[in-house]
Each structure stands twice: as structure tokens, then as C-alpha cells.
């Protein structure tokens, strides 16, 4: 018996769908990650800010464009088996695909030293931020797998399907909340973090 359930989460897109796998598949989390870039122009800090605001990825959740984004897609396969007069989960595979969308400045090689330092700090911070979104998704994919495997057998598979749906919804909500909590913390700390990065890089340059 195959089970699939579609659902939405907050970080652009996250869905759980049925994927055909052998019945003998062992419990596992399959992780796939990719990175895609959008190109921006400009020569000053003001130009870069305007380009990121104009060309950055748009998210439905916020209704605005961002300097970077992470697309997340959960998928998986869950099989049931009869154990005597009980229905039990036999195999669980959870798959999470993450695609980071990051900026690439086409004028980086022709930039002044100060602008190059600024861009390197900014782009590194954007990438670190999106990598963390991807890691949060991977953590919750593992959590979903673990919780599904712990479900006890039930009298019939319909009852067990309901429990699978409940657990899936609970982990999805936890995932959304973790992503939003991370964004709130990041928004508060961004200016301080950038200032520290720039000071550190300036000290390295002065000591060379």
C-alpha cells in the first residue's frame, strides 16, 4: 500500500509526494542540493542594493524580493505491511531537495578594493544564510523519518494513514516555525554581523 500526501510550507515550496521505490527499501533520508545564480550589475553600494531589490528572487510568503532564497521540496515513499491482524509501517524514505538561489555580481573583477571587500562580505553572508535554510530543511526531513518509523501498528491501515498525516502536518508546522524563527533572528543581527565582517577583512588587508 502506497501513501502520499501533498502539503505546503513557508519557504517558497515544500511538498510531500509519493515516489516509487522498491518495497525492500531501508529507512533513509535522501538529500539533493543545487545552486543557481542570478546576475546583477552596478558599480556602487547603492547600485548593488537596487539591483538586488529589482532582480532578487520573489517569495509569496513575504510578497517581496530578497537578496537570495532557498527552494525546498520534500518527497518520500512510505509502505505498509500486515503483521498478523495489525497494519504497520514497513519502509520509510524521506527525500529533501534544496535549491539555493544566489546573486552573482558581474562587475566583481573590475571593482575597487573597497567595493570588492563589501561584495565579498555581503555575498558570503547571503550564501551562509541560505545554506542554513537548507540545513533546517534537512534536519526536519530526518525528524519526519524518525517519527514515522516510531508509529505503532494499528488495527487497520486507514487509521495508520491518519496518524501518518498527523505526524507529517506536525513536522511541517515545526519546519515552518523554525525557518521563520531563523529569519527573525537573522534580520535583527544582520547589521552587526556585516560590520564585524567588514572590520575583520579590513584588518586583514591592513596587515598584509
Which has more pLDDT, 13 or 162? 162
Per the prediction, the chain carries an average pLDDT of 81
What pTM does this model have? 0.78
CB 154 within 8 A of CB 86: yes
Cα dist from 104 to 28, 69, 128, 174, whole Å: 35, 13, 15, 32
As a whole number, mean pLDDT of residues 97-124 equals 92
CB 80 within 8 A of CB 157: yes
As a whole number, mean pLDDT of residues 58-73 equals 86
| Residue 142: per-residue pLDDT | 95
CB 13 within 8 A of CB 73: yes
Does 141 have pLDDT greater than 70? yes
Does 64 have pLDDT greater than 90? no
Does 38 have pLDDT greater than 70? yes
- pLDDT confidence bin for 36, thresholds 50/70/90: very high
> CA–CA separation, 68 vs 29, rounded Å?
26
Which has more pLDDT, 23 or 151? 151
Which has more pLDDT, 16 or 36? 36
As a whole number, mean pLDDT of residues 121-144 equals 94
In angstroms and rounded to an integer, the radius of gyration of the C-alpha atoms of the chain is: 22
Region of 69 please: left (phi>0), alpha (psi -120 to 50) or beta: beta
> CA–CA separation, 10 vs 196, rounded Å?
30
What is the maximum span of the chain, computed from C-alpha positions, in angstroms?
75
Amino acid at each position: 500500500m502506497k501513501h502520499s500526501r501533498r502539503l505546503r510550507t513557508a519557504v517558497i515550496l515544500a511538498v510531500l509526494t509519493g515516489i516509487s521505490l522498491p518495497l525492500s527499501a531501508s529507512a533513509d533520508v535522501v538529500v539533493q542540493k543545487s545552486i543557481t545564480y542570478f546576475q546583477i550589475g552596478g558599480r556602487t553600494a547603492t547600485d548593488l542594493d537596487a539591483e538586488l531589490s529589482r532582480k532578487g528572487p520573489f517569495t509569496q510568503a513575504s510578497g517581496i524580493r530578497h537578496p537570495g532564497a532557498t527552494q525546498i521540496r520534500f518527497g518520500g515513499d512510505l509502505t505498509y505491511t500486515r503483521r498478523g491482524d495489525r497494519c504497520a509501517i514497513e519502509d520509510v524514505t524521506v527525500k529533501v531537495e534544496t535549491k539555493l538561489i544566489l546573486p552573482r555580481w558581474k562587475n566583481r573583477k573590475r571593482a575597487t578594493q573597497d567595493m570588492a571587500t563589501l561584495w565579498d562580505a555581503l555575498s558570503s553572508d547571503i550564501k551562509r544564510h541560505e545554506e542554513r535554510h537548507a540545513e533546517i530543511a534537512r534536519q526536519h526531513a530526518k525528524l519526519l523519518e524518525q517519527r514515522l518509523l516510531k508509529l505503532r501498528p494499528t488495527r487497520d491501515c486507514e487509521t495508520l494513514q491518519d496518524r501518518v498525516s498527523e505526524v507529517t502536518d506536525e513536522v511541517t508546522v515545526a519546519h515552518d516555525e523554525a525557518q521563520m524563527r531563523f529569519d527573525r533572528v537573522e534580520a535583527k543581527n544582520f547589521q552587526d554581523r556585516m560590520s564585524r565582517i567588514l572590520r575583520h577583512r579590513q584588518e586583514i588587508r591592513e596587515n598584509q
